Amino acid sequence: MANNHRIEWSRTRAPACGRSHLCSLSSTLFLIGLLQITSGCAAARLTQFHNFAQAGTAYTKASQAVLDEAGTAAIEADSLIAQKGRDALRTADERRQFIIGNNQELRKRLVLLGDIGRHGRLLQSYFETLAALADPKAPETLGTAAQGVFDSIGALSPAIKNASLGGVKIGDRIPQATNFVVQVFKAKALENELKARSKDIEREIALQEAAFTVITSTLETDLTVQLQLEETEEVIEPFAVAKELPKNWPARREEILRARVAVASSRAAQEAAAKLRESFVALVENRLSEPSIAGIIAAINSMLNSIEAIKKATPTQ
Amino acid sequence: MDSAQIYSSTLEQLNKTVVRLTSPEWDAKVQGAPAEQRQDALAELLRVQHARLVLANEALQDIADKLKANEQNLLDGQKALQAELDKLATVEAVLKTISSLINVVARIVPLI
């Protein structure tokens, strides 16, 4: 079960070529289901961009799972607290006001999580456009397409930068810009695109990193609240007072305890975004290596494993 | 301390508090308390949860002045609350410090 959603990659030999960092890339990489057969430098470059786009797609899918989990955990934690504390609200009007107020706040949070997800998906589209631009036969219209995707990313990012979550303004957590120089590429459309926008795109990936730094901290609190309440209701109380323990009591106890540990690993999302950013810079500098892609895949798998462990322990989701 | 730090530390304290108030240890403590305190403990749990949701969604620039104006009360409240959460001596003492801090937070953001 744990391995069902994991992303695997394997490698195949790339042909030797006599140029720059490309030659140090002795193997080309591909994600499962994608076979890249390369011949010559142009093909090796295509492979690099293609593999990066694939890693970007995998990152977007996995990060969407984290965003979904963050939304679900916030709602679940709030619902469990509301249920537990409902008796303390003495009148129907008090109860109505409480739940309307909290629903309103949760909706605001879901809107922000949705924006971060859309921002990630637009980045994925941009990486796919770059991969297409790496092909020397790419049509000229692709440059316009890249501009269009970039404009959409730029339109979304101020809302995310200015948003606060868990007491932290996302914009304040953006890591410092990395200095890098765009390499010379034979595909001129690609080179022009990278020269025009790669520094801005690096900042947009940094925004993803900042967003996940903030999200995982909030997610940890919500999940801890949820799991603690479940531990009390489903493990401690039945053990203390029930005449007979439910048959699934040992299994449930184990799930909850294991999920408490898994919560701590939810920071993998931020690590995956950081690795994606590092790899993007390496790609632009024409030095994307096998360990870089392997590093992203490992971080993405770590994200998926942690989400899976949490989902398993919170079956109400 | 600048308003961003006051904001973060206040919310962090509310997060720590909600985690403590939903812990099995706190639940056991409350179960041994008188009925009225049990009721108050649930009411404070709801207030803390509501306050952390509202504060977390608030844009810092909109509340910066109010945070600064209430800085000392917020910091004193956080310190006192954390000390009580660490000791967990009596339910009454913990609830009193929670209520005190939430009342200050209510001066910064509108709470139910």
Q: What is the pLDDT along chain B (112 residues), one digit of tens a residue?
A: 888 889 889 999 999 999 999 999 999 999 999 999 999 999 999 999 999 999 988 877 789 899 999 999 999 999 999 999 999 999 999 999 999 999 999 999 999 8
* Chain A contact set for B9 (CB, 8 A): 167
A102 contacts in chain B (CB < 8 Å): 49-50, 53
Q: What CA–CA distance (Å, rounded) separates A129 from A139?
A: 11
Please write the tens of the pLDDT for every residue from A234-278. 999 999 999 999 999 999 999 888 887 777 766 778 888 899 999
Domain ranges of chain A: 43-313
Asked if B19 and A228 come within 8 Å (Cβ–Cβ), the reply is yes
Task: Give the pair of three-digit tokens for residue B44.
Answer: 């404070």
pLDDT score of B60 = 79
Give residue A216's pLDDT band: very low, low, confident or very high (50, 70, 90).
confident
List B residues 33-92 in contact with A (Cβ-Cβ < 8 A): 39-40, 42-43, 45-46, 49-50, 53-60
> In whole angstroms, what is the distance from residue A267 CA to residue A76 CA?
20
Interface touch B42/A84, C-beta < 8 Å: yes
A81 touches chain B (CB under 8 A): yes
Strands A27-31 and A168-169: unpaired
Strand pairing partners for A142?
none
**A228–B53 C-beta distance less than 8 A:** no
**Which residues of chain B neighbour A93 with C-beta distances below 8 Å?**
none
Q: How far is CA A112 from CA A65, A153, A215, in A?
A: 15, 15, 10
Total Cβ atoms within 10 A of residue A79: 16
Residue B49 has its nearest CB partner, among A78, A165, A166, at A78
Say if the Cβ atoms of B4 and A169 lie within 8 Å: yes
Beta strands, E only, chain A: 9-13, 27-31, 164-165, 168-169
Residue by residue, DSSP assigns A94-147 as: HHHHHHHHHHHHHHHHHHHHHHHHHHHHHHHHHHHHHHHHTSTT--THHHHHHH
Q: Does B8 contact A at CB distance below 8 Å?
A: yes
Torsion on CA atoms A109, A110, A112, A117, rounded to nearest 10? 150
* Residues present in chain A in total: 317
| CA–CA dist A234, A246 (Å, integer) | 9
**pLDDT > 50? residue A307:** yes
**Parallel, antiparallel, or unpaired for β A168-169 and A164-165?**
antiparallel
User: Measured between CA atoms, how close is B13 to chain A, in angstroms?
Assistant: 10
> Do the Cβ atoms of A88 and B39 come within 8 Å?
yes
Could you say which of B15, B18, B46 has the minimum Cβ distance to residue A98? B46
Nearest CA in chain A to B43: A88
Chain pair A-B, CB pairs under 8 angstroms = 96
CA dist., res. B13 & res. B19, Å (int): 10
Q: What is the pLDDT of residues A168-188, one digit of tens each?
A: 667 777 777 777 777 777 778
Nearest CA in chain B to A82: B46
Q: Which residues of A265-298 are buried (b: 16+ CB within 10 A; e: fewer)?
A: bbbbbbbbbbbbbbbbbbbbbbbbbbebbebbbb
Residue A185: per-residue pLDDT: 74
